[in-house]
C-alpha cells in the first residue's frame, strides 16, 4: 500500500480521465464537411483509374477557381503551394484536370455541383464505350471496331478513366459550401491583389485507397492475406450485384441447360450507370429510361398473354453492370454457354434490346442491328422480319421507326455479348441514329431534370407521384411498341395488338420513384418490409457497387425485382412463414416461381401494411464477371473491374498558421526550456549561498 499504489491509481485515473473528450478544442479548429462524394479507385486487368490521397490526407490552401487568372495562380504564381482547388462545373474538364495532374502544386480538387447542368454537355466517359469487350474486333467487323465508323459518345473526354494522384471530391451547394466560401473570402483573398496574409484557410481530404496497379495485383494480395493472415486485409472487391429476369410462362429453375423444343424471345435492357464520383449515378437516360420502358412492357403484356397466350415464351432480362464492360450480360451468356442457366443460346429465337430511348429527336426511333451477322442470309431474313414486325407494331403511335440506313455497328449494348457466342437475330431500339442524343452520358447531370421529369412546384409528393409528365407519355409509347413487337415475335395474333397498351400512369409512377423520390407510397406498398427502411430521401443511384455482406442486393435491384413480381405474379393467401417455405404446400412450386413477402398498402392510421405473399416467375441471377469465377484476373475477354477498399473518407477545413509562427513557437519553447534548466541548475548549485540557513531548528540542508 502507500505511495506506489497511490501513484498507480493516479496514473490510471489520469489516463482514464484524459482519453475521453478532446473534441472541444478540435471543434474550434476543424469544420467537418458532411455530404461529400469522393472519386475512388477502380482497377481492371491492366490499369488503375480514379483518385487517391495520401494516407494521412492531403492538405492544401483553399483557392476558388473562377477565372483564368485563378488557374495561373494555382499553377504558377501563387506563393503558398500546394493549393486545394474549389471549382465550378465549367472548369471540370479534361484540359484543366490534366494540367492539375501534371503540376506538383495541386493537393486536391473539390467540385461544387451546380443546380443546373452545363449547357454545352459533359461526359467523363469514353467516347467509344466498352471498346474492347464488345463484339467488334479485328476478327469480327474490323472496319466497324473501335468506333471507326461512328463515335457513339462524341462529348466523352475519358476523364473517368484517368488516374489521379490527388483526391477529388464533390459537394452540393448547401451550408457547407457557404462556410467554405466564407472562409475563403475572409482569409485567402489578398487586399489589392497582393498575396494574402497568414493564417490562411485550408482544406484536408482523406480518401486513401488500399489497392494499387491493377486487379491482378490486388487480387493476388487479397489471396495472400486471406491465406496467411489471422485477420485478413482485403484490398479490393469485384464489382458485383444481380441481374433480374422474368418470363411470361414460368421456367423450371432447377433444369439448367438446353430446354428442348422451346424458342424464346428475349427482351433485354440495362440497369446501371456510373459517373466520375463514387455512388453518384442518376443514370436517367442511360439506364432508368430503358428499364422503366421494359417494366411497362411487361405490364402491358400481362393481360393479353393470359387471354391469348403466344406460342413462344418471352424472357425479360435486366442486366446489371453493363457500364463496366458488360458484367451482367457477359455472365449470363457465360452461364448459358456452360449450361448453368435455365435456357441455352440455342433456345433464343430473337432478341430486342432497349437502349437509350427517352430523348427522341423529331419523333424518330431507330432500330440498330449488326451488319456483320446480317451477311448470313437466314439471319438477314429473320432481322428483316423482326424490323417489319416492329414497324407494324409501331403503326399508329406518335413516332416513326426506321433503321439507320448506313452500315454502322451496334451501339454499346448487351446484345453484343450474345453475338460473341453465336449469331442471333436481334435489334437494339434507340432514340439516336448515330451518336448518342444523351449529352451527359454516364455523368452526374444525367438526371430527372434532363429528361424533363419535372413537376409543377405546388404539388405534394403524393400528387407528384400521380402526375403524368410528357416524358412518361413518351416512354409509355415506346413500351407499347416493344410490347406489341414482342407479342408478334413470339407468334401472337396481330388482331390482338390494339389491346396491348402501356399505362402512362404506371410509367409516371415508376419514373417518379426511380428518378425523384423512392420513398413514396407506391414503392412502399410494393416491396418487402426490410426494403422499405432503405428507401432513403436521396434519389436512387445506379452504380453497381460491390458485394456487402450486410446488404447483398442493391436496393434498386430489389425494387425492380418486386415491381416485376407485381407485374407478372399472382397474390396468394399464404402466411409469412408459408411464403418463406412453400416447398411442401400443394400447388406451390419453388422451382417454377419465387415467393416474395411484400408489405402491402399502408392504411392511413397505421405504420405497417397488412403484408401478403406474391408468387411470381421472377428470379435474380448473379452478375459477377466470369473473370472472377475463372480467377483469370488479367482476362481480355471478360470484365475485370474491381473497386478498391478504403478506411476513411472525409473532408474538413481549418486555418493554417505560417511556418514562421510555428518555428517561432518551437524556438521560444526550446529557449524557455534551456533558460529554466540553466537557472534551476545554478540556483540549486548555489542554494546554500543564496539562501541563508533556515530559522527552523529541525530543517536540514537542501
Binding of other proteins at residue 686 (CB under 8 A)?
Answer: no
Residue 458 found at the interface with other proteins (CB under 8 A): no
Q: DSSP label at 161?
A: G
Cα distance from N-terminal residue to C-terminal residue, the chain = 28
Best CA proximity match to 514, nearest among 453, 458, 568, 455: 453
Among 345, 435, 592, 655, binds other proteins (CB under 8 A): 655
Reference 461, options 503, 511, 516; nearest CA is 516
The only residue of 663, 686, 688, 690 in contact with other proteins, by rule CB under 8 A: 663
* Contacting residue, 197, 470, 608, 694, with other proteins by CB under 8 A: 694
What does the alpha-carbon distance between residue 81 and residue 187 come to, in Å, rounded to a whole number? Answer: 16
Q: What are the CA-CA distances from residue 566 to residues 162, 244, 595, 617, 619 (Å)? A: 42, 14, 11, 10, 13
Site for other proteins in 408-447 (CB under 8 A): none
Torsion angle of the four alpha carbons 564, 617, 383, 354, in this order, in degrees rounded to the nearest 10: 20
Query: Considering only residues 466, 536, 667, 686, which one is a binding residue for other proteins as defined by CB under 8 A?
Result: 667
Q: Does residue 199 bind other proteins (CB under 8 A)?
A: yes
- Listed as own residue / partner, the contacts of 336-339 with beta carbons closer than 8 Å and 24 or more positions apart are 336/421, 337/421, 339/256, 339/257, 339/258
Residues 5-24 touching other proteins, rule: CB under 8 A, are 6-7, 9-10, 13-14, 16-18, 20-22, 24
Among 668, 686, 688, 690, binds other proteins (CB under 8 A): 668
Cα–Cα distance, 205 to 508 (Å, whole number): 40
Q: What cell numbers appear for 395 in the block?
A: 403503326
Q: Taking CB under 8 A as the criterion, which residues in 376-415 touch other proteins?
A: none
Can residue 591 be called a binding residue for other proteins (CB under 8 A)?
A: no
- Using the rule CB under 8 A, is 86 a contact of other proteins? no
Select 528 or 655, whichever has its Cβ closest to other proteins.
655
Q: Name which of 240, 449, 438, 207 is nearest 324 in CA terms.
A: 240
Examine residue 294 and tell whether it contacts other proteins (CB under 8 A): no
Backbone angles phi, psi at 211, to 5 degrees: -90, 145
Cβ proximity to other proteins: between 57 and 545 the closer is 57
- Residue 545 CA, distance from chain mean position: 6
Query: What cell was used for 488?
Result: 408478334
Q: What is the DSSP letter of 322?
A: T
- Given 673, 686, 688, 690, the residue binding other proteins (CB under 8 A): 673
Distances (CA, A) of 293 to 32, 390, 410, 537: 42, 15, 20, 24
199 versus 232: smaller Cβ distance to other proteins: 199
In the bound state with other proteins, the residue whose beta carbon lies nearer, of 9 and 406, is: 9
Type and span of the H or E element at 171: strand 168-172
Binding status of residue 31 toward other proteins by CB under 8 A: yes
Does residue number 25 form part of the binding site for other proteins (CB under 8 A)?
yes
Radius of gyration for the alpha carbons in the chain, expressed in angstroms and rounded:
32
With contacts defined by CB under 8 A, name the span among 99-107, 241-249, 255-263, 646-654 that binds other proteins.
646-654
202 binds other proteins (CB under 8 A): yes
Minimum CB distance to other proteins, residue 111 (Å): 22
680 near other proteins, judged by CB under 8 A: yes
Asked if 197 interacts with other proteins (CB under 8 A), we say no
Number of other CB atoms surrounding residue 663 within 10 Å: 10
Is there a contact between 49 and 41 (Cβ–Cβ < 8 Å)?
Answer: yes
For residue 502, what are the β-bridge partners? none
Contact present, 161 and 193 (Cβ < 8 Å): no
- Closest Cα to residue 618, out of 535, 545, 526? 526
Residue 363 as a binder of other proteins (CB under 8 A): the answer is no
> Looking at beta carbons only, is 499 or 665 nearer to other proteins?
665
Stretch that binds other proteins, among 298-306, 440-448, 483-491, 694-702 (CB under 8 A): 694-702
702 binds other proteins (CB under 8 A): yes
Q: Name the nearest CA neighbour of 392 among 498, 297, 295, 475.
A: 498
CA 696 to chain centre: 83
CA distances from 89 to 61, 85, 96 (A): 20, 12, 11
Task: Please choose, out of 324-332, 371-379, 482-490, 667-675, the segment that lies near other proteins by the rule CB under 8 A.
Answer: 667-675
Q: Please identify which residue in the block is written with the cell numbers 488500399.
A: 210
Does residue 666 interact with other proteins by CB under 8 A?
Answer: yes
Which listed residue (662, 686, 688, 690) binds other proteins by CB under 8 A? 662
Among 55, 189, 303, 657, binds other proteins (CB under 8 A): 657
Q: How far is the CB of 274 from other proteins (least distance, A)?
A: 33
Considering only residues 57-76, where is the footprint of other proteins by CB under 8 A? 57, 59
Q: Under rule CB under 8 A, how many of the chain's residues touch other proteins?
A: 57
Nearer to other proteins, 17 or 230 (CB): 17
Is residue 183 near other proteins by the rule CB under 8 A? yes
Give the shortest CB-665-to-other proteins separation in angstroms: 4
Q: Strands of 618-624's sheet, edge to edge?
A: 400-402, 364-368, 426-430, 348-354, 264-270, 314-319, 240-247, 618-624
Q: Which of 231, 260, 693, 699 binds other proteins (CB under 8 A)?
A: 699
- In the complex, the residues that contact other proteins under the rule CB under 8 A are 3, 6-7, 9-10, 13-14, 16-18, 20-22, 24-26, 28-31, 57, 59, 183, 199, 201-202, 204, 652-657, 661-670, 672-673, 676-677, 679-681, 684, 694, 696, 698-700, 702
Amino acid at each position: 500500500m502507500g505511495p506506489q499504489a497511490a501513484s498507480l491509481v493516479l496514473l490510471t485515473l489520469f489516463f482514464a480521465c484524459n482519453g475521453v473528450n478532446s473534441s472541444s478544442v478540435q471543434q474550434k479548429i476543424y469544420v467537418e464537411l458532411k455530404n461529400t462524394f469522393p472519386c475512388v479507385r477502380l482497377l481492371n486487368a491492366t490499369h488503375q483509374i480514379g483518385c487517391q490521397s495520401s494516407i494521412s490526407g492531403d492538405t492544401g490552401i483553399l483557392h476558388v477557381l473562377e477565372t483564368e487568372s485563378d488557374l495561373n495562380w494555382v499553377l504558377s504564381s501563387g506563393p503558398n503551394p500546394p493549393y486545394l482547388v474549389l471549382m465550378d462545373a465549367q472548369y471540370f474538364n479534361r484540359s484543366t484536370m490534366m494540367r492539375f495532374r501534371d503540376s506538383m502544386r495541386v493537393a486536391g480538387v473539390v467540385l461544387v455541383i451546380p443546380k443546373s447542368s452545363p449547357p454545352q454537355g459533359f461526359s467523363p466517359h469514353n467516347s467509344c464505350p466498352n471498346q474492347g469487350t464488345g463484339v467488334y474486333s479485328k476478327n469480327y467487323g474490323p472496319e466497324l471496331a473501335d468506333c471507326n465508323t461512328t463515335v457513339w459518345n462524341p462529348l466523352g473526354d475519358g476523364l473517368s478513366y484517368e488516374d489521379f494522384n490527388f483526391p477529388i471530391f464533390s459537394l452540393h451547394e448547401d451550408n457547407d459550401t457557404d462556410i467554405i466560401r466564407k472562409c475563403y473570402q475572409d482569409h485567402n483573398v489578398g487586399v489589392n491583389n497582393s498575396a494574402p496574409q497568414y493564417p490562411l484557410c485550408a482544406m484536408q481530404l482523406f480518401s486513401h485507397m488500399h489497392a494499387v496497379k491493377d486487379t491482378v495485383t490486388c487480387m493476388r494480395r487479397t489471396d495472400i492475406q486471406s491465406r496467411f493472415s489471422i485477420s485478413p486485409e482485403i484490398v479490393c472487391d469485384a464489382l458485383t450485384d444481380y441481374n433480374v429476369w422474368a418470363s411470361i410462362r414460368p421456367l423450371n429453375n432447377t433444369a439448367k441447360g438446353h430446354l428442348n423444343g422451346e424458342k424464346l424471345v428475349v427482351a433485354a435492357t440495362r440497369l446501371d450507370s456510373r459517373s466520375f464520383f463514387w455512388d453518384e449515378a442518376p443514370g436517367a437516360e442511360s439506364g432508368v429510361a430503358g428499364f422503366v420502358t421494359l417494366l411497362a412492357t411487361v405490364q402491358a403484356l400481362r393481360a393479353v398473354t393470359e387471354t391469348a397466350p403466344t406460342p413462344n415464351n418471352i424472357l425479360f432480362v435486366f442486366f446489371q453492370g453493363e457500364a463496366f464492360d458488360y458484367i451482367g450480360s457477359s455472365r449470363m451468356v457465360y452461364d448459358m454457354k456452360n449450361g448453368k442457366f435455365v435456357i441455352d443460346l440455342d433456345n433464343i429465337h430473337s432478341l430486342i434490346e432497349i437502349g437509350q430511348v427517352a430523348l427522341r429527336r423529331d419523333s424518330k426511333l431507330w432500330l440498330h442491328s449488326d451488319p456483320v451477322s446480317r451477311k448470313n442470309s437466314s439471319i438477314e431474313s429473320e432481322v428483316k422480319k423482326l424490323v417489319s414486325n416492329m414497324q407494324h407494331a409501331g403503326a399508329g403511335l406518335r413516332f416513326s421507326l426506321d433503321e439507320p440506313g448506313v452500315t454502322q455497328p451496334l451501339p454499346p449494348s448487351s446484345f453484343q455479348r450474345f453475338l460473341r457466342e453465336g449469331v442471333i437475330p436481334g435489334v437494339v431500339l434507340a432514340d439516336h441514329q448515330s451518336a448518342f442524343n444523351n449529352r451527359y452520358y454516364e455523368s452526374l447531370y444525367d438526371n430527372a431534370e434532363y429528361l424533363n421529369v419535372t413537376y409543377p412546384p405546388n404539388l405534394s409528393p403524393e400528387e407528384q407521384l400521380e402526375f403524368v409528365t410528357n416524358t412518361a407519355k413518351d416512354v409509355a409509347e415506346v413500351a407499347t411498341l416493344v410490347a406489341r413487337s414482342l407479342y408478334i415475335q413470339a407468334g401472337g395474333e396481330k388482331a390482338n395488338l390494339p389491346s396491348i397498351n402501356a399505362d402512362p400512369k404506371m410509367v409516371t409512377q415508376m419514373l417518379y420513384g426511380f428518378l425523384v423520390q423512392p420513398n413514396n407510397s407506391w414503392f412502399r406498398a410494393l416491396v418487402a418490409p426490410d426494403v422499405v427502411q432503405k428507401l432513403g430521401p436521396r434519389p436512387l443511384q445506379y452504380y453497381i457497387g460491390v458485394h456487402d455482406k450486410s446488404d447483398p442486393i442493391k436496393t434498386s435491384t430489389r425494387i425492380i425485382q418486386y415491381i416485376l413480381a407485381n407485374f407478372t405474379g399472382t397474390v396468394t393467401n399464404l402466411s409469412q412463414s408459408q411464403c418463406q417455405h412453400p416447398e411442401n404446400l400443394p400447388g406451390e412450386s419453388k422451382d417454377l416461381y419465387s415467393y416474395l413477402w411484400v408489405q402491402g398498402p399502408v392504411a392511413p392510421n397505421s405504420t405497417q401494411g397488412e403484408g401478403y405473399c406474391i408468387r411470381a416467375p421472377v428470379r435474380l441471377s448473379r452478375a459477377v464477371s466470369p473473370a472472377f469465377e475463372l480467377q483469370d484476373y488479367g482476362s481480355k475477354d471478360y470484365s475485370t473491374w474491381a473497386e478498391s477498399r478504403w478506411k476513411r473518407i472525409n473532408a474538413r477545413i481549418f486555418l493554417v498558421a505560417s511556418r514562421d509562427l510555428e518555428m517561432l513557437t518551437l524556438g521560444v519553447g526550446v529557449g524557455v526550456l534551456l533558460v529554466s534548466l540553466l537557472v534551476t541548475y545554478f540556483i540549486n548549485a548555489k542554494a546554500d549561498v543564496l539562501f541563508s540557513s533556515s530559522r527552523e531548528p529541525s530543517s536540514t540542508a537542501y
